[in-house]
Structure 1
Amino acid sequence: MTSVPTPIPSRTQFVLEGIKHRILTGQLSPGRPLVETELAAQYGVSKTPVREALKTLAGTGLVVMSQYKGVTVRMVDADMAREIYDVRLLLEPEALRRSVRRRAVLDAACDALDRADAATDTAERSLANREFHRALYLPCGNPLLGRMLDEVRDQAALVSAVAWAADPSWAAEAAEHREILRLARLGDADGAASALHDHIASFLHRAFPGTRQEEGRR
Structure 2
Amino acid sequence: MAFAPSPIPSRTQYVLEAIKHDILTGGLSPGQPLVETELAARFGVSKTPVREALKTLAGSGLVVMSQYKGATVRMVDADMARAVYDVRLLLEPEAVRRTVAAGAALDEARDALNRAATAEDPAERSLANRDFHRALYLPCGNPLLGRMLDEVRDQAALVSTVAWATTPSWEREAAEHEEILRLAAAGDSAGAGLAVHDHIASFVERAFPEDGE
TM-score w.r.t. structure 1 length?
Answer: 0.93
Return 5+ residue gaps in structure 1 as ranges: 1-6, 214-218
Amino acid at match of 2:98: R
Q: Is the 8 A contact 1:37 1:47 kept in 2?
A: yes
1:159 Cα offset (Å): 0.2
1:141 aligns with 2:137: no
Q: Map 1:1-218 onto structure 2 (within 5 A).
A: 9-210=9-210
Aligned partner letter, 1:163? A
AA partner of residue 45 (structure 1): V
- Runs of 4+ aligned residues of structure 1 deviating over 4 Å after TM superposition are none
> RMSD value over aligned CA atoms?
1.4
> Aligned with 2:104: secondary structure?
coil
Shift of 1:211: 7.4
Alpha carbons 1:96, 1:137 under 8 Å: kept: yes
**Length, aligned pairs only:** 207
Contact 1:8–1:49 (CA under 8 A) maintained in structure 2: no
Identity, in percent, stands at: 79
Within 1, Cα distance between the matches of 2:212 and 2:200?
12
Residue 212 of structure 1: CA displacement? 9.8
Note if contact 1:82-1:211 (Cα within 8 Å) is conserved in structure 2. no
The 3-state SS of whatever aligns with 1:26 is coil
How many angstroms does 1:128 deviate by?
Answer: 0.3
- Superposed CA offset, 1:135-168 (max 9, x none): 0001100000000000110000000000011111
* CA gap 1:135/1:127 in 2 versus in 1, 3 angstroms: same
Q: 1:100 to 1:8 in 2, by over 3 A?
A: closer
Distance 1:140 1:8 in 2: 27
CA distance in 2, matches of 1:195, 1:204: 15
| Rounded Cα–Cα distance in structure 1 between residues aligned with 2:151 and 2:123 | 20
Measured against aligned partners, the alpha-carbon deviations of 1:177-215 in whole angstroms (never above 9, x if no partner) come to 0000100111111111001000000000111011798xx
Q: CA deviation at 1:48?
A: 0.3
What is the Cα deviation at residue 8 of structure 1? 7.7
Structure 1 101/140 Cα, relative in aligned 2: closer, same or farther at 3 Å? same
Aligned AA for 1:210?
A: E
Q: What is the CA distance between 1:122 and its match in structure 2?
A: 1.5
Contact 1:99 1:137 in 2 (8 A): yes
**Alpha carbons of 1:57 and 1:110: their partners in 2 closer, same or farther (altered >3 Å)?**
same
AA matched with 1:53 = A
Unaligned runs of 5+ in 2: 1-6
Q: Is the 8 A contact 1:205 1:212 kept in 2?
A: no
Q: Distance in 1 between matches of 2:61 and 2:164?
A: 19
Contact 1:89 1:200 in 2 (8 A): yes
SS of match in other structure, 2:34: coil
How far apart, in 1, do the equivalents of 2:212 and 2:13 lie? 38
